[in-house]
Amino acid sequence: MTLPTFLTLDFAPMATAAFCAATCAMLGSWLLLRRMSLLGDAISHSVLPGLVAAFVVTQSRSPLPMFLGGATAGVVAAALIELVRRAGKLDSGTAMGVVFSASFALGLVMIRRVEGTMSADLDADCVLYGELSRILWQPPAGTTHLSVAGIGSIPREFIAAGTGTLVTFAAIVALRKELTAAAFDHAFAVTTGLRPGLVSTVLVVLVAASVVSSFEAVGSILVIALLVCPAAAARFLTDRLGVQLVLSVVIGVACAVLGYILAAAAPEIVGLPGAVSPSGSIAVCTGGALVLAILAGPRHGVIARGWRWLDLASRVAAEDRLARLYRESESTGSRVVERERFEPRVSAWVAFVSAWKLRRQGLIENTSKGPQLTGSGLVRAAELVRAHRLWESYLVENVGLRPDHVHDTAMRLEHLPPRLEPELSAELDPHNRPIPPRTSP
């Protein structure tokens, strides 16, 4: 594909989608933190009657009236939601459900009523799916894209989306203190005069504006994906607010570009004629990004959390087995434990990993008669049993529990780091068994 073809066909829609994604991701992070994600959903449904009304009044799809109509409808819907919630004492989900579905229904009925009665064209499809692939950058004949006339012919959707990104960015930078306070500590924001109510209103207006400026490109429902998914994905990757905002924008833009390219290129590879819906593809990409972040997030991801759990569970299981072997050899007087008691409390998976750990660290060796603690295993096991019996003594003497009630608690406490073990000079535990001496300094 040559550069002019790319600029004509693909650059403008791709960049428009990327701008929409950046705007939505910035706002979506705040919505997510304020638990208002459903509001984006509600507003994106409720702008419809405003759009249709503006279309009917002006008889055209000129951008400014459409923008004003849609944004007004979005803000009115948000106000109605608040009114219904307070006056009707309903929970906010229900209030949103009532208001947005009613206004969406109103918009659909209005569309169907005006369909075909006017010269210009507005149908449900363009509102629902967006018209990314219809955005063309066609410079006047005889000029190139980068000439003055060519730049003058940049499609208005592109300019609207870029302006939206800039305005949103400026607003967030200007209001970052107020937004942060309102998101994390509402009471603090109220008492310090940071006006969280006003900030909420500004946020609602910004969301309405960005939804309206995005709907032509990506459609009214897929804009929800751009609002929610990149922000939610970033939430699994970081705990820092600034990083969250930057990451969500990066993810959103990456999904927009990748989704657009996939929609354009993938069908040819599979052998389908033409391109598939780019807005659908972008939405699916944001979903994929969310799933990826949930799985692979460094701290909060499912894999990381599962790994940490397995690490801890197998360490505890391994230490329990060491201590058990120590006690048995203590009672029989022989290093080799011929009949090992297994306590099948752990899953097979954890048992497998713990056995692997013990073998790798060389703490247990298997003889022909049975398992046996090695020299280093004996030291480690003595430390554990010492911690266990010290904790038992502590629980009896300092906490005042009965000696037959302390074993299970001590079983847990013995796995704490050695520096936390109780400083007692006892030589026998409450069951009159010797407490092994401290081995390491």
Partner 1 sequence: MGYNTAVVAAGCVLLGVACGIIGCFASLRKRAVLADALGHATLPGIAAAYLVAPSLGLASRSTPVLFVGAAAGAGLGAVAVGLLLRTGRLRADAAVSAVLSVFFGAGVLLLSIIQRLDRGDQGGLSHLLLGQTAAMSRSDAVTIGVLALAATSVVGLLFKEFRSLCFDTDFAAVQGWPVRFLDFVLMFLITLVVVVGLQAVGLLLVVALLVIPAASARFWSNRLGWVLMAGAVIGGVSGLAGAMGSASIDRVPIGGAIVLCSAGLFVLSMVAGPARGLIPMWSRGKHLGSPPR
| Burial of 19 (C-beta count, 10 Å sphere; 0-12/13-18/19+) | buried
Give the residue with the Cβ less far from partner 1, 33 or 161.
33
Measured torsion, CA atoms of residues 230, 231, 232, 235, in degrees rounded to the nearest 10: 120
Give the residue with the Cβ less far from partner 1, 4 or 288.
288
CB of 120 to partner 1, least distance (A): 18
Bridge partners, residue 336, by sequence: 372
CB of 114 to partner 1, least distance (A): 9
Give the residue with the Cβ less far from partner 1, 276 or 411.
276
CA distances from 381 to 324, 335, 356, 361, 374 (A): 8, 12, 17, 13, 10
Give the residue with the Cβ less far from partner 1, 287 or 370.
287
Give the residue with the Cβ less far from partner 1, 41 or 421.
41
Q: How many CA atoms lie within 13 A of 22 on its CB side?
A: 20
Please say whether the beta carbons of 157 and 135 come within 8 A: yes
Please say whether the beta carbons of 376 and 363 come within 8 A: yes
User: Cα separation of 86 and 139, whole Å?
Assistant: 53
CB of 82 to partner 1, least distance (A): 14
Q: How many CA atoms lie within 13 A of 74 on its CB side?
A: 30
CB of 239 to partner 1, least distance (A): 10
CB of 336 to partner 1, least distance (A): 46
Give the residue with the Cβ less far from partner 1, 97 or 155.
97
The footprint of partner 1 (CB under 8 A) covers 32, 35-38, 40-41, 84, 87-91, 93-98, 101-102, 104-106, 108-109, 112-113, 115, 124-125, 128-129, 219, 221-225, 227-229, 231-232, 235-236, 263, 267, 272-274, 276-277, 279-284, 286-287, 290, 294, 300, 302
Bridge partners, residue 364, by sequence: 373
Please say whether the beta carbons of 198 and 205 come within 8 A: no
Specify the residue for token string 């939430």: 235
Give the residue with the Cβ less far from partner 1, 41 or 320.
41
User: Cα separation of 303 and 237, whole Å?
Assistant: 12
CB of 69 to partner 1, least distance (A): 19
CB of 383 to partner 1, least distance (A): 35
